[in-house]
């Protein structure tokens, strides 16, 4: 049994301690916005925030997330107001299939918290999520728009 604090709510989840956080979030808590893409921290589709930092939840055991503040895509907006990254994504019509976008948005939200006005080089260094549809051109434009929002 693990105790997880996700989007401000506490959940008791019946999993082994080595279960990846991703699967506890998706299957035990039932929040499916966080995606499975690779399981080896390569693609970033599973990105969540842990104490405000972007983390690839597919490769983090639940035991390492206990007692920490976990935020998923479902908890990024505050109340009825979208996070500025989500709004920029809508304004720039970023998603194609959309499967990687929750992870992409979480990675970008963490970047903007760290660097409110990222340069292209900052983006290149930090945003390493895979998108097979190839939305990168819109992603870059939307990051700069969110930074200036």
Partner 1 sequence: MTHMPRLSRRSFVVGAAAAAGGGLALGLDIPLGRPKAALAQAATPEVNAWVLIRPDDTVVIRVVRSEMGQGTITGLCQLVAEELDCDWSKVTYEYPTPGESVKRNQVWGSFSTGGSRGIRTSHDYVRKGGAAARMMLVQAAANQWSVPAAECRAESGVITHTPSGRKLRYGEVAEAASRLQPPTDVQLKDPRTWKIAGKPLKRLDTANKVTGKQVYGADLKLPGMLNATIVECPVFGGKVKSFDAGKITGMKGVRHVLQVGDTAVAVVADTWWQAKTALDALPIVWDEGPNANVSSASIAKMLEEGLSAEQGFVGNQAGDAKAALASAVKKVEAVYAYPYQNHATMEPMNCTARYTPERCEVWAPTQDGQGTFAAVLAASGLPADKCEVYKINLGGGYGRRSGLHQDWARQAVLIAKQVPGVPIKLLWSREEDMRQGRYHPVMQCKLTGGFDASNNLVALHMRLSGQSILASVNPQAVEKDQGRDALTFQGVTSPNLLGGEYALQYTIPNLLIDHAMRNTHVPPGVWRGVNINQNAIFMECFMDELAQAAGQDELEFRRKLMANHPKALAVLNAVAERIGWGKPPPQGVHRGLAHLKAFAAYVAAAAEVSVEGNRIKIHRIVAATDPIYAVNPAQIERQVAGSFVYGLSAVFYGECTVEKGRIVEGNFDTYDSMRIAQMPPVETIIMPSGGNDPWGGIGEPTICVAAPAVLNAYAKATGQRIRTIPLKNQRIRMA
Positions in 76-115 near partner 1 (CB under 8 A)? 76-77, 82, 86, 89-90, 93-102, 105
Min dist CB 115 to partner 1, Å, is 15
What is the C-alpha to C-alpha distance for residues 43 and 4, in angstroms, rounded to an integer? 24
What is the C-alpha to C-alpha distance for residues 128 and 114, in angstroms, rounded to an integer? 16
Pick the closest to residue 136 from 96, 109, 102, 90 (CA basis).
96
Q: Could you report how far apart the first and last alpha carbons of the chain are, in Å?
A: 42
Is residue 40 at the binding interface for partner 1, with CB under 8 A as the rule?
Answer: yes
Ramachandran assignment for 52, one of left (phi > 0), alpha (psi -120 to 50 degrees), beta (any other) = left
CB count, 10 Å around CB of 3? 12
Is residue 144 at the binding interface for partner 1, with CB under 8 A as the rule?
Answer: no
Annotate each residue in 42-71 with x if it binds partner 1 (CB under 8 A) or - if it does not, as one string. Answer: xx-x--------------------------
Min dist CB 34 to partner 1, Å, is 7
Among residues 36, 64, 69, 144, which is the contact residue for partner 1, using CB under 8 A? 36
**Of the ranges 11-19, 49-57, 63-71, 109-117, which one interacts with partner 1 (CB under 8 A)?**
11-19
Min dist CB 67 to partner 1, Å, is 19
What is the side-by-side strand order in the sheet with 47-50?
9-13, 2-6, 69-71, 47-50, 53-56
Q: Which residues of the chain form contacts with partner 1 (CB under 8 A)?
A: 12-16, 19-20, 23, 26-40, 42-43, 45, 72-74, 76-77, 82, 86, 89-90, 93-102, 105, 123-125, 127-140
């Amino acid at each position: 049994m693990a105790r997880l604090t996700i989007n401000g709510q506490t959940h008791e989840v019946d999993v082994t301690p080595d279960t990846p956080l991703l699967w506890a979030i998706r299957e035990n808590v039932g929040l499916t916005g966080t995606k499975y893409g690779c399981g080896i921290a390569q693609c970033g589709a599973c990105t969540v925030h842990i104490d405000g930092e972007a983390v690839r939840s597919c490769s983090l055991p639940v035991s390492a997330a206990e007692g920490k503040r976990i935020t998923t895509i479902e908890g990024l907006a505050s109340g009825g107001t979208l996070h500025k990254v989500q709004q920029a994504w809508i304004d720039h019509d970023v998603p194609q299939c959309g499967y990687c976008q929750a992870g992409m948005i979480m990675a970008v939200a963490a970047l903007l918290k760290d660097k409110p006005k990222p340069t292209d080089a900052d983006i290149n260094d930090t945003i390493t999520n895979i998108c097979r549809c190839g939305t990168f051109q819109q992603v870059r434009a939307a990051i700069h728009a969110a930074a200036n929002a």
